[in-house]
Structure formats: C-alpha cells, structure tokens
Chains A and B, each alone.
Chain A
Amino acid sequence: MAVDRVTSRPTEGSIQGGKTAGWWAGSSLRPIIYGLLVVGALIQVYPIFFLLMNTLKTDTQILNTPFSLPTNFSLAPYVDVWTGDRTGMFFGRYFFNSVIVLAATLVLMLAISCLCGYAMARGQFPGNATLHQVLLLSLAVPAHALAIPLYFFVGSLGLRNSLFGLTLVYAAIGAPFTIILMRAYFMHLPVELEEAARIDGCGRLGVFLRIVVPISRGPIAGMAIININWIWSELFFSLILMNKADVRTLPLAIALYKPAPMTVETVLGLQYAAMALATIPVLILFFLFQRQIASGMTMGAFK
C-alpha cells in the first residue's frame, strides 16, 4: 500500500546531509542517549530471550539460576505440552483451534469487508453515506460493552463452545475497520478496467470476482497481516464463549494454565514451552513481513 514507501525509506539507508551528520555530535548528551537506547533495547529483548531459554531448563534451574543458559538442549517440554500426556493440557489441539479460528476469521472478515467496501466505493445507493458514518462510529465502541448480550445470543444460536461461533464474533468485531480501509483503497482504484469489463457484459459480481479481487491481492493480504495479531492474541471473548476444554484457543489455554510448582521436574518449563508455542509463530511472521506489519500498524493508527 501507499504507506509502504514511508517505512521502507529507512532500509534504503539514505545517508543524506541532515540525517546522519553526527547527531548530537560533541554534546555531552550523546553518550547518555546511546546508553538509553542500548539499555532500552536489552530490556525489550531480554524477557523474550528469558522466555525461550526457560523452555529448555528444569524448574530448579529456572528458579535458582535464572540467568544461566540451558545445560542440555531437549525439546521434551515442547513435546509434553503439545501432546498433553503429562499435563492434561493439550496445547497441540489449542494451537490448531487458534489456527482454525484465525484462518476462518480472516477469510470471512475479508470476504464480507471487501464486498461491502467495494460497494461503498463504487455504488450509488441510498444509505451509503449513512453506512460510512455508522461504521466510523462503531470503531469507537469497546467490544467489552457487547459481551453480555453476545454471550446469550451466541448461546441461543447453539454456537457457544464452537470455533465457528468465535469466528463470527471476531469477524464482526474486525469488520468495520477492514471495511473502512478497503473502501478507501477501492476509491483510489482506477475504474476504467471495470467499466471495460462491464461493457463486455460482465455483471457486477463478475467484475468484482474476476477483476477487482485479483488486482487487489496485495492490499487484501496487507489487511490480513495487520489483523492476524489481535485475532491470535484475543482473550476476552474466547474466555467468555469457550467453556469446554477442547475448544480453547491458545491465549485462553495459557491464561488458564496453572502449573503446580515443583510437583514434576519441569512444570514451569512446560508453562514456558506453551508460551513459546504462541510466540514463535508470531516472531517468524514478524521477520517475514516486517515491512508490511510496520506499515499496517502505521495505517491502523489512523483508525
């Protein structure tokens, strides 16, 4: 998207006059600023390193020598939390629950949002402007305020403890923002190609599916990327709607995982392994899509 340009600029390493010419050079503040940056960066990264190291340590090591590195590299804690044989918490299943909800939410939310955003950008129909206003207002509604009726409504549909029910709720929560951004994108999309297809006798839906969606793959993928984070982390509605153990999502399972300290050799290690399970995919994603994520966040900030 358009914003890409901005965030990509630093990586081009433009060493121009005003930018690098010895910032704070000669000032006594310079070492202090460097100190703050280095210490700050360590404070940001160390806890994550600590988390990952602890997945490989025994409880005794975690508690008594927190700074030591793991002595032997064993993936046993990961296998244990994944299968749940020793813990009774089946993180492999929770992981897949989260993956399913994430994928289904993205598909549903993007489908309805693209359709709606496209109609709002291209169509002239009574209520279009009102719809836009309502969507903007809905961004200001905290989802917590919907929780009680949603709990009963989803229950009355028989969709409590259902991954599909959770998907519906997530898609609805994420849709207004996605619609607004997709609408803004479609408004800037040149209309000529679509008009040519219309003259060739293609219907509105045909134009949308055969022309608009294919040329908009980039922005649609961008919207997916910036929505992954909150869906993967969401706790509140999962906690309310998912009461049965086998439908828990990963954040919910981690929040409910209460290891009894010292009963087994590596109870804490297991907890850390479960946390790593939720974190490692996000880290991989981050390194793969750093630029898109940064630009998405930047765009999201204008929400």
Chain B
Amino acid sequence: MASIPILEERQAQIHQKGSQPFEMDCGKHSLAGSVSQRACVFCGSRVVLYPIADALHLIHGPIGCAAYTWDIRGALSSGPELHRMSFSTDLRERDVIFGGEKKLAAALDELIDQYKPKAAFVYSTCIVGIIGDDVAAVCRQVEKAKGIPVLPVHSEGFKGTKKDGYKAACDAMAKLVGTGATDKIAPVSINILGEFNIGGEAWLIKKYYEEMGVEVVSIMTGDGRVDEIRRSHGAALNVVQCSGALTFLAEMMEETYGIPYIRASYFGIEDMATALYDVAAHFNDHAEVMARTRAIVRREVGAIMPELERIRKDLDGKRAAVYVGGAFKAFSLIKALRHLGMRVVLVGSQTGNASDYATLQDMCEDGTVILDDANPLELSKYIIEKRADLFIGGVKERPIAFKMGIGFCDHNHERKMPLAGFAGMLQFAREVHTSVTSPVWQFVPARAAAMAAGEETP
C-alpha cells in the first residue's frame, strides 16, 4: 500500500483495516537508523517520578539528561516545587575515567543538607551503566548518614525501552510503599496510579472520587508526596491509568499487600464515567457511593453537553489522525473524537502491544491506517492520503501537522489545560474545535487552490 519506501522489517508494523489479515508486529526495538518518535529508559523513569514534588531528583550523568528534562512537563504541585529544579552531577571526562561515585556522594550530601527533601531519587544514565558506578551502594551509604530514603533508579538509557524505565521507577517507588502508618485510612479508599497532574488533571479526578465518598490515599505521582506513597499500602484499591506506566507497581502491591487493582482512563465522557462507576462497583457494600457517583456523572455530563453539541455541529464528519505514546490513550481518544462527530482515519502508538492493536482494530472503521512506532514520513504520507483535518500527538508531531496545514491537539505533556475528566472533555473539544476551524488553514497553498476551484469550503 505504500508509495514511500518502507523497510521490509517494518512492513508488518503498518496496517490498513480491512485490506489484509491483521497481525501487528509490535513491541520490537526500533531499527537502527529509524527516525522513530520514541525515547529511552531514563525518559520513562523520569516522567513517572518527576511529579513527586517534595523529593530530590538527582540525575547522575552528563548534563544533557538533566537539561532536557528540566521542567518540561507541566506536572503541577500544590505545595513544594523542588521537582522543577534541575540537579545533575554534570559528569566530566575525568569522572568517566576515575568513576563518579565520590562526586555523587558529595552532591547528595550537599543537596540533602540544603533542601531537606523527604526522599531522594538518583537516576542512573547510560554512562553510569558503562563506567560501572555502584549507585546503589552510594545511595545506601547516604541514606544511613542522612536518615531519609535515598533510592537508586536503574534507568540507564540503553537498557531497554521507555517501558523498562516505567518499571525502574516502580521498583524505586516500591521501596517507599509500606513504610508509612496506615491507621486512620478509611475502608473505602483508593490510590490513583499513573496520573501525573498535567494541567491539574489529578486534582479534577481526585475531587470526583472524594465527592463519591472515596478517600484518595495517594496519587502516584501527580502532585505527589513521599509520605503519601509511604502509606499507600493502606488503600483498599488501586486505580491504574494509562498503558501501564504504573502497572508494575500495582502488581507488586497486589502481590505484597493484597490490594487489587483496576484499570481506568479519564479521557472522554464514557471512559471517565466508567472510571468512577468501576470504583463505586468495587465498594458495592456501600450503596451510597454508587448513588453519589450517578449524581456526579449526571451533573457533570449535563454541564458540558450543550456546548459539546454546538462544537459537534462544526466538527461533524471531520477526520482525525491519532499518534500517541501508549495505545490505551488512543482507545479513549477514538471514543472522545466520536463524541465530537469526528472519524479516526489513522491511529498509532509508540509502545502498544498485540492485544492493544487488536482492540484498536476492533474499534476502527475499515480503511483506518494503524501504525506501530511510526516515523514522520509515514505519518505525513497517510495524513495527506487520508485527508485528515486534525492530528493528535506530542511535541515532535505538532510542527509536522502545521506544515501540512491541519489542526493539532497536544495530548501529551505539553497540554496546558486539563483534558481529563468531564470538564477536561469540554476543554479537549474546545481545543480541537479552535485548531480545526482556525482561519489560518485557508492560507495553506493546497487548500487555497482547492477553495478557489470550489472543491473545498473553509
């Protein structure tokens, strides 16, 4: 189906629904020489742990790893802002030759004295794995001296994919879980896992649960606090969002503390409502929880429907392309876009697995292009071919969309407004509407020509 060159090894990562038997060859390491949109292990760990605002985050490595992750995700904190600073051992050539352990110990010593954090996370980068610094030993030694948890995060960039970084982050957090007091925690209580409070989303969601009468013991990790994580094993249920950034931790907590977990997504009306109802159903011996949940959903949906209806009139029949990190988010987006009357003509993810792609296949209509670990050339080709009006992606995809003269919505960490929750659905609709119907697209040469020829209306 392709007129652009696609390597044989990648052929099985691109499908068009209905045109051939579907078996996505996913979960592979990107090919050398690929212009993939993916990142590394360190990136995975960093995004998961970074929102813990009263912890020290020290990056043990050359300056780049610290510089590129300095305050780039708007994970909001209601209190301390320590997570927005950038701390690095800034390894130099002589450290690479003689080892960086002494420097690391000295840096931790100075930082902990200065900032008195509740805990410290020490991230290993590629170079640390190669020169063989014993980061865990340094952490143990400092922990003993300072009396706070000092946790190594084994996030050497080359040791796998971003998912392995999630796992390394969960391993580090697992050492905190179970170290705090759990008395006074109500029986109807949850932890929210995999929600990072971008644009204040965790606050929205927490409010819904609290209104239902459910105590939120901890949010991992949006607006996160060390002490909350330490007592999170006292919750009755873990609610895990996303394609699995924190699934590892939920599994570990189930095994160690017998806390069951359910999956949730907070994007779009159906998924948001389901996320609340599922929790209410779990606590079904408390009938009032379900009653309150119904009331909340009725009220919230009622509040956004009139404007959604108006927006839908403009967007009805428009076409969307979706390329996101985790496939789970794609499911929600497809449903949310359907609510706006839009058709998804391309969908892909960086890290989806076989069952994710099977689900995507079921959700999509015939002709939809489904991609795993795509490059910009493929994305642009199918977007043009499928005449998409909107592209939903992250930072690297935004200018590609704009170059092609179509609307864009950042559903990654550069969103500035909460897109989760019921109120977030309305925000999402407004963002999509603003971008898709922007008058700027009439100036795109191809469209201007089409309009002049009467083939397209603005």
- The answer to whether A binds B is no
Binding site for B on A (CB under 8 A): none
Binding site for A on B (CB under 8 A): none
